């Protein structure tokens, strides 16, 4: 018996749509990360990009549990001395709401070249409209 290993060029990519309206951020991120990696497919191979495209809409209306809305901090570092910036969820949501979903998903995929390649298949929009109707994405229900 031989071990099956999927190949990138043999993959048939599909498009999936996730509506984040009134959904918990972690549940949206887990669902999207699994589809991006291809873990929902029987031919999943850890070292190959077997995933599909994901479109997340209504990212501005995603929900956080507990006191995360006021207490959670997002930090960025420029590399220069004293250039550490911290921002609360409230400020990030006001400035660019899709960043909340993008950062949650980025943390759930591998932190290597495969993860960077997988992350390019993600599209996040703050509102309900998106320009990917031509791909006829399948709607995914979050459990």
- Answer whether residue 143 shows pLDDT above 80: no
Please tell me the predicted confidence (pLDDT) of residue 9: 87
d(CA 70, CA 2): 53
Q: Which of the four pLDDT bands, split at 50, 70 and 90, describes residue 57?
A: very high
Quote the mean pLDDT of the chain.
Answer: 94
Q: Are strands 15-19 and 73-77 parallel, antiparallel or unpaired?
A: unpaired
What's the confidence (pLDDT) of residue 3? 87
- Do 36 and 122 touch, CB atoms closer than 8 A? yes
* Per-residue model confidence (pLDDT) at position 92: 94
N-terminal to C-terminal alpha carbon distance within the chain: 36
Q: How far apart are CA 22 and CA 62, in angstroms?
A: 5
Q: Which helix (H) or strand (E) holds 140?
A: strand 138-140
Q: Is the pLDDT of residue 122 over 90?
A: yes
Domains and their CATH numbers in the chain: 13-64+96-140 (3.90.1180.10)
pLDDT of residue 4: 85
User: pTM for the full model?
Assistant: 0.92
**DSSP H or E stretch at residue 103:** helix 98-106
Q: What pLDDT was estimated at residue 1? A: 79
Q: In this predicted model, what pLDDT tens digit does every residue of 77-116 receive, in sequence order?
A: 999 998 999 999 999 999 999 999 999 999 999 999 999 9
Q: Is residue 138 very low, low, confident or very high in pLDDT (cuts 50, 70, 90)?
A: very high
Cβ distance 10 to 132 under 8 Å?
no
């Amino acid at each position: 018996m031989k071990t099956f290993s999927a190949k990138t060029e043999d993959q048939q990519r599909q498009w999936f749509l996730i509506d984040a309206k009134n959904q918990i951020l972690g549940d949206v991120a887990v669902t999207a990360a699994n589809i991006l990696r291809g873990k929902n497919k029987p031919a999943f191979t850890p070292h190959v990009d077997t995933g599909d495209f994901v479109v997340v809409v209504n990212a501005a209306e995603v929900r956080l549990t507990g006191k995360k809305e006021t207490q959670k901090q997002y930090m960025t570092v420029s590399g220069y001395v004293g250039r550490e910036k911290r921002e609360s969820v409230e400020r990030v949501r006001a400035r660019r709401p899709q960043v909340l979903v993008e950062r949650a998903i980025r943390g759930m995929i591998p932190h290597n070249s495969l993860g960077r390649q997988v992350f390019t298949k993600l599209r996040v929009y703050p509102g309900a409209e998106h320009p990917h109707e031509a791909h006829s994405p399948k709607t995914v229900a979050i459990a």
